[in-house]
Amino acid sequence: MKTLTGNPFSVVPAAVWLFLLITGAAILSPGNSRGGELSVEVRPENTTILHNSDGMSNIRIQVLAPEGLFSEDRPPLNLCLVLDKSGSMADSGKMGYLIEAAHMLVDGMGPRDILSIVAYDDGVRVPVTARRVRDRQLFHRAIDQLYPGGRTYLSGGLEEGFRQVRKNLKRGYVSRVILLSDGLANAGVTDNGQLRRRASLMYEDGVSISTFGLGLDFDEDLLTSLACGAGGAYYYISQPGDILSALDREFRMASDTVVSKVRIVIKPMGGCRLESIPGHSWSMEDGAAVIEVGDLGAGQSRTLLAKIRVPADTLGELTAAEVIVRYRDALTGAAEKKEALPVRLGVVGDPRVHRENLDGEVSGSRAVIESSALMNEAAKMVDKGDKAGAALVIRKALEFLESAPQSGAVKSEARRVRDYSANLESLEDMAPSELEEMQKEMKYRNYKEIYGQ
């Protein structure tokens, strides 16, 4: 594994902002036919902390999978398509596009792959139970018989999708539920927190979940939460005709999977304390924060920003934390690997030395990620009608961006934030559909910036 850890004189005092930029997907491809290795970079925004300061520091960690790992070999797939066929799917030709996309996915699968199809409205049906894709016509006939009608029993569809995939959990397979919805969950379990917890348990059992939100009436917070809690990806599809390209992208990502169940473990050391990881949730295990990254494919990357508070009252060097990456090889199912990367920082008394150790590139990356996390908060405040609160959060996001080196990414993010702020001024004049579209687009952009999608 390639490892870069920045200047060794990089002690994190008082508050180390462990800025983890995780870009990648395959930590080490242990001896399989695809070859290649995961690159991991640990890079502080500043390798020094000022003596007796608040001790805040940012460290970027990037994990990157190499491109072009795949020959004809790829891990076989164990997928379940969970399709919303509630009454609203009859609008704007959505059902027709969905059927076309499902046919396309079937045609892309091979005889080693396993597929099942679940459809939900008021209830849940299983047009095709989990089986290898050898008789394509069986799947095509079942897809052609789907028709819209009824409510949105999303939780029932999700549970049945999990049951179908779980039947064939095998090492070396990519096991995933692909769930599409165009509306609000209004039957069965509808509480977002309960559904998120259930999705996390499914992921612990070896099944990831990717979600697709179609149109303007679905709950983007729920679908994002399900995907993030279960190691998958979330897609916002504003136009029905885009279903095909979105599902094709997901299929290719699943087919290109290099590693699965990737986890980032951050263990503070030497009296340091983890404060937050903007935009991400985590669990604690033996004093370390565990962030689930999910499955990653060739060329994929992930980004995290963590904040750690470090004592800055003593001059010198220290190891503020260790970063450990765990995963399974997707093709062989090999046991998880571990690599401990130390985060070394230095507490210094000279402000000039501190200024000279600033990494402008990392500073810009940190500003964009923090802004995206804040803008997600602002968008949720707008959902609740708290326009004044949203404006305060937006100003904070702009402060981060304006204080960072003005790279292209920082300038682009600042324009996006200002445009959103300007739109808030005319909120009362917006049609409901305009507001919904603005909110969904903002949250989707935030999601992609935070999660590297």
d(CA 122, CA 150): 5
d(CA 340, CA 232): 25
What's the confidence (pLDDT) of residue 197? 87
What's the confidence (pLDDT) of residue 68? 52
| 340-348 and 48-50 strand pairing | parallel
**Cα→Cα distances 280→204, 211, 225, 235, 416, Å:** 18, 18, 10, 18, 21
Which pair of tokens denotes residue 67? 């491109």
d(CA 306, CA 322): 13
What's the confidence (pLDDT) of residue 391? 94
For the four alpha carbons of 93, 99, 102 and 103, in that order, the dihedral sign comes to negative
DSSP per-residue letters across 145-210: T----S---HHHHHHHHHHHHHTT--TT-EEEEEEEESS---SS---HHHHHHHHHHHHHTT-EEE
d(CA 135, CA 131): 10
For 188: left if phi > 0, alpha if psi spans -120 to 50, otherwise beta; the answer is left
Nearest to 159 by CA among 205, 103, 213, 104: 205
Residue at token pair 């509630």: 86
Which pair of tokens denotes residue 356? 């000279």
Residue type at 402 in one-letter notation: E
What's the confidence (pLDDT) of residue 187? 75
Contact assessment for residue 416 and residue 401, using Cβ atoms and an 8 Å cutoff: no
Per-residue confidence in pLDDT tens, the chain, 453 aa: 333 344 333 333 333 333 333 322 223 333 333 445 677 888 889 999 999 999 988 888 787 776 654 445 678 899 999 998 887 777 777 888 888 889 989 999 999 999 999 998 888 999 999 999 999 999 999 999 888 877 778 889 999 999 999 999 888 888 999 999 887 777 777 788 888 889 889 998 889 999 998 888 788 898 998 998 888 899 998 888 888 888 888 888 888 888 788 888 999 998 998 998 888 888 899 899 998 888 888 888 888 888 888 999 999 999 999 998 888 877 777 766 667 889 999 999 999 999 999 999 999 999 999 999 999 999 999 999 899 999 999 999 999 999 999 999 999 999 999 999 999 888 888 888 889 899 999 999 999 888 876
Contact assessment for residue 264 and residue 246, using Cβ atoms and an 8 Å cutoff: no
Buried/exposed code over 283-320 (b: 16+ C-beta within 10 A; e: otherwise): eeeeebbbbbbbbbbbbbbbbbbbbbbbbbeeeebbbb
Nearest to 373 by CA among 323, 417, 437: 417
Contact assessment for residue 13 and residue 312, using Cβ atoms and an 8 Å cutoff: yes
Task: Go through the chain and tell me how many residues it has.
Answer: 453
In Å, how far from its chain's centre is CA 252?
Answer: 17
Residue type at 341 in one-letter notation: L
Residue type at 329 in one-letter notation: D
How many other β-carbons are positioned within 10 Å of the β-carbon of residue 191?
11
d(CA 188, CA 157): 10
What's the confidence (pLDDT) of residue 322? 93
Residue type at 372 in one-letter notation: S
Which pair of tokens denotes residue 360? 């402008």
What's the confidence (pLDDT) of residue 210? 93
d(CA 54, CA 63): 29
Buried/exposed code over 207-226 (b: 16+ C-beta within 10 A; e: otherwise): bbbbbbbbbbebbbbbbbbb
Q: What is the pLDDT of residues 123-176, one digit of tens each?
A: 899 999 999 999 999 999 999 988 887 777 888 999 999 999 999 988 888 899
For 364: left if phi > 0, alpha if psi spans -120 to 50, otherwise beta; the answer is alpha
d(CA 214, CA 235): 9
d(CA 86, CA 187): 11
d(CA 417, CA 401): 10
d(CA 265, CA 287): 10
What's the confidence (pLDDT) of residue 190? 75
For the four alpha carbons of 89, 95, 99 and 104, in that order, the dihedral sign comes to negative
How many other β-carbons are positioned within 10 Å of the β-carbon of residue 403?
10
DSSP per-residue letters across 237-269: ESSGGGHHHHHHHHHHHHHTEEEEEEEEEEEE-
For 216: left if phi > 0, alpha if psi spans -120 to 50, otherwise beta; the answer is alpha
